[in-house]
Amino acid sequence: MADDEVLALAQDMTITRGEFLRSLPAAVEHAPYDVGEREIRAGDPARRWRIVLTPLPDLSLGLVRLARHRVEIFLAGYDTAATRRFLERFELYFRRGGG
């Protein structure tokens, strides 16, 4: 974590990497970003975000197996209102099960 970064969100999600990457463009307002093996980065020196995806063991519910990832969002250069807007939009596009 860079000195000016703030961990804005850390949660486990039942989602594959592919599903996550398919939903991400809309969740970040189609901002251009770079995808690495474990990290996704965007922004400039004044304001940027970074998402770290860490694979977790599958969740097993009887015969059903669900892929899981730990998702951590780091923000830099965002004020309180901008942080809230970023996270609300992210949550909206990744919400499942009707709310």
Query: What pLDDT, in 10s, does the model give residues 21-76?
Result: 999 999 999 999 999 999 999 988 889 999 999 999 998 889 999 999 999 999 99
The H or E element containing residue 83 is: helix 80-94
> Alpha helix locations (H) across the chain?
17-27, 80-94
Torsion angle defined by CA atoms of residues 3, 71, 87 and 5, in that order, rounded to the nearest 10 degrees: 0
Q: What is the pTM of this model?
A: 0.89
Residues in the chain, overall count: 99
Which pLDDT value is given to residue 47?
A: 93
63 φ/ψ angles, rounded to the nearest 5 degrees: -85, -5
Residue ranges of domains in the chain: 6-94
* CATH number among 1.10.3720.10, 3.30.1370.80, 3.30.450.40, 3.40.605.10, domain 6-94: 3.30.1370.80
